[in-house]
Amino acid sequence: MLGIRCLLACALVAGADLDKDRNLLGFCETADQDCHSHDDTVWDNKRQTNAARARLDVNSANHTHQLGSFRVSCKKLLEAFPVDEVDGNFVRTVKNCIFSKSTPTPLKGSLTLATVSKNVIEDILDLDVNAIQSDDFLQYASGSKLLPGSIPLAHRYGGHQFGYWAGQLGDGRAHFLGQYTNSKGEIWELQLKGSGKTPYSRSGDGRAVIRSSVREFLGSEAMHSLGIPTSRAASLIVSEEPVLRDQFYNGKVKKERGAVVLRLAKSWFRIGSLEILAQAGEIDLLRKMLDFVIAEHFPSVNMNDPDKYLVFFSMVVNETAHMIAQWMSVGFAHGVCNTDNFSLLSITIDYGPFGFMESYDPNFIPNTSDDEGRYRIGAQANVGLFNLEKLLGALGPVLTVKQLQGAKTVLKGFADLYQKRFHQIFKAKLGLRGDEEEDEYLIAYLLKMMEDTRSDFTMTFRQLSEASVQQLDSRDFTQMWALNDLSSHNLFSEWLSMYLLRHGRQDDDCDEDRQHRMKSVNPRYVVRNWMAESAIRKAEVNDFSEVELLYHVLTSPYITQETAEEAGYAARPPLWAQRLKVSCSS
Ligand code: AMP
Ligand code: MG
């Protein structure tokens, strides 16, 4: 029993010791003059009308705006922070500011609206889905035309990449467009990704390709529907602009096409946003940013509290622990957990080579560029801790000695916070109510069996939710492929007996309730690489039907859907899926 507990602790909770000997690995795309010098591009005005629009379920009655009255504001951020005194999208080291003014570079050739998130368009942007049928939307959401009120900005941030301080990074291919205050009073920051060069582009071309943009769009919307804090994606627009990428860093440079995602978050500030200010000794600005973030996003913190930064830190520690526990609960591996990709609001941001684990494996590495597995799924909690240490490092200059001590104590509590949340979530995944001493053991035992049998993470939990007690009792899993795999374990029957006995002790429970509870926390559909890949292959030849289908399926991941079943989204992954690789290249 102790052995299995220990295994859970090692594999998932605490993770292995951090490897500090890793090479710095940033983005390293091949930049080609032809595909990134288009400041004077005259883009093709012949915009495509696309079939996707026609297929959208139009319900205009509840939504307030047509696009004509939509506007954003940059006032709040521009009043709060100094802006780079230098103008222009040329690469440089930027000092003493939080943003640089930077205009998006329109993509070349005709643009196609590949897909939109109906939920974001309607529920966040208050727009009528009809509005997106306009040419204006295509232009606004691709960076060809500026939204009323927009003063586009690129954010200056730094970060620790793969364990090492990487210096200035910043929005190298993203443009903040402005804040939108919606009908619910929520303030959302709109940002384009893939919209051209900025002062932070370093050797990059400022672009994002179709495959990574499809993944960002689907990944963020899927995570939202799974109930996990995340940035959102409103739309995906693809272009004809050639973008060169060496996808697997093997010298095979391929011509792909540029795409832009219009994405949203309550704030895009990251740990790296504070780190760069501390590293540069810009302490007044560091204080200013902290005060802004706290006032805007941490309303429970009293701005007059002398310990406000410490309180803020402890809240970020808490929320980051929760976010990572939630990632683990759906088998999500972010792939590039650098401090510049860790939000101060503890939401999931910057979807790159992420992956949803299929066969259960604590060493699952979604990113083929992560040679040493620094960001393997089982290390995410530890990496989260590392990133929070870096956040604390950045707060150092504004904390007193006593507060610093307090913050270190808070950090020591991270593992505990994470474990508690992890335990709570996995108990819910198993439909367990109340607390029993053996619950931890039941969870660890199951995970160990899943690891030994390489059972599918998503479907094992889902099928445990869907199987009735009678089915479980009879141990007949011929119709349940994941449970069938799991049941090959020589200890499976013993575990199942314990599990059923545990349920039997829940007096006020019935099997229907248990199944219902479990089905509402164990998704049937996640973005498996093969699903995304299949949709991407079609998208690359301008067929967006599968991106759309996936979007619709993934917005209700807990509900069995006929179209999804027909597409095999809950079936055993096809053999070709095993050969798929996802790298940092995007
Ligand atoms: P990421 O790995 O996407 O989080 O990006 C890390 C850093 O590299 C950020 O500063 C990005 O803005 C920048 N970056 C990534 N790809 C590009 C690109 N194609 N052009 C310019 N900057 C990029
Ligand atoms: Mg990033």
Beta bridge partners of 190: 178, 264
Q: Using CA positions, which residue lies closest to atom 7 of ligand 1?
A: 169
Interior angle at CA 39, CA 38 and CA 42, nearest 5: 70
Nearest residue by C-alpha to atom 22 in ligand 1: 172
Q: Which residues have a Cβ under 8 Å from the Cβ of 240 and sit 6 or more positions away?
A: 44, 107, 108, 109, 110, 257
Q: Look up residue 557 and give its two tokens.
A: 């991941």
Answer yes or no: is the C-beta of 370 below 6 A from any ligand 1 atom. no
Percent of the chain, pLDDT > 70?
Answer: 89
Beta strands in 182-252 (DSSP E): 187-193, 208-209, 232-245
pLDDT, tens digit (0-9, with 9 covering 90-100), for 129-161? 887 889 999 999 999 999 999 999 999 999 999
Distances (CA, A) of 352 to 15, 337, 474, 497, 506: 22, 10, 43, 41, 42
pLDDT of residue 224: 98
Ligand 2 centre to CA of 159 (Å) is: 9
pLDDT level of residue 348 (50, 70, 90 thresholds): very high
Q: Which residue has the tokens 């303030």?
A: 187
Residue 7: per-residue pLDDT: 43
* pLDDT band, residue 13 (cuts 50/70/90): very low
Q: How many CA atoms lie within 13 A of 426 on its CB side?
A: 24
Whole-model pTM: value is 0.91
Ligand 1 close to Cβ of residue 205 (< 6 A): yes
Q: Is the pLDDT of residue 32 over 50?
A: no
Q: How far is the CA of 207 from the centre of ligand 1 (A)?
A: 9
- Domain residue limits, the chain: 41-271, 274-424, 435-505
CA of 211 to the centre of ligand 2 (A): 16
Q: Residue 15: its pLDDT value, please? A: 35
Q: How high does pLDDT run on average in the chain? A: 90
Per-residue confidence at 64, pLDDT binned at 50, 70, 90?
low
The pLDDT tens digits of the residues spanning 431-466 come to 999 999 999 999 999 999 999 999 999 999 999 999
**CB distance 29 to ligand 1 below 6 Å:** yes
Q: Which residue lies with its CA nearest to atom 2 of ligand 1?
A: 27
The predicted-structure confidence for 209-245, as pLDDT tens digits, reads as follows 999 999 999 999 999 999 999 999 999 999 999 999 9
pLDDT at 21 over 60: no
Ligand (nearest to CA of 158): 1
pLDDT at 129: 86
Looking from the CA of residue 174, the nearest atom of ligand 1 is 12
Does residue 569 surpass a pLDDT of 90? yes
Paired tokens of 564: 């999804």
Q: Is the pLDDT of residue 25 over 60?
A: no
Q: Is 343 in the pocket of ligand 1 (CB under 6 A)?
A: no
Among 568, 514, 439, 524, CA closest to 1: 439
Please identify which residue in the block is written with the tokens 């160990």: 448
Tens digit of each residue's pLDDT (9 = 90 or more) over 182-196: 999 999 999 999 999
Distances (CA, A) of 548 to 55, 101, 305: 9, 34, 48
The 8-class DSSP code of residue 106 comes to: P
State the Cα torsion 432-524-492-510 to the nearest 10°.
40
Instruction: Please list the active-site residues.
Output: 340
Q: Is the shortest distance between the CB of 339 and ligand 1 below 6 Å?
A: no
- What's the pLDDT band for 272 if we cut at 50, 70, 90? very high
* 476 to 185, 470, 523, 572: CA distances (angstroms): 52, 9, 22, 18
Residue 19 has pLDDT above 50, yes or no: no
According to DSSP, the residues that pair with 178 across neighbouring strands are 190
Tell me which amino acid residue 68 is: G
- Residue 171 Cα, ligand 2 centroid: separation in angstroms? 8
3-state secondary structure of 85: coil
Please state the rounded mean pLDDT for residues 512-533.
98
Q: Give, for ligand 1, the residue of 94, 168, 202 to mutate: max count of ligand atoms closer than 8 Å to Cβ.
A: 202
Confidence at residue 248, expressed as pLDDT on a 0 to 100 scale: 87
Whether 44 shows a pLDDT value over 90: the answer reads: no
The pLDDT value given to residue 117 = 97
The ligand whose atoms approach the alpha carbon of 209 most closely is 1
Sign of CA dihedral 530, 534, 540, 542: negative
Q: Ligand 2 centre and the CA of 349: distance in Å? A: 8
Report phi then psi at 357, rounded to 5.
Answer: -60, 135
CB 335 less than 6 A from any atom of ligand 1: no
Give the nearest ligand 1 atom to 170 CA: 10
> What six digits make up the tokens of 556?
């209700």
For position 3, what pLDDT does the model report?
Answer: 40
Q: What is the pLDDT of residues 377-429, one digit of tens each?
A: 999 999 999 999 999 999 999 999 999 999 999 999 999 999 999 999 999 99
How high is the pLDDT of residue 63?
A: 55
- Say yes or no: CB of residue 36 within 6 Å of ligand 1: no
Cβ of residue 84 lying under 6 Å from some atom of ligand 1: no
Could you identify the atom of ligand 1 that is nearest to the CA of residue 169?
A: 10
Instruction: Say how many Å lie between the CA of residue 341 and the centre of ligand 2.
Output: 5
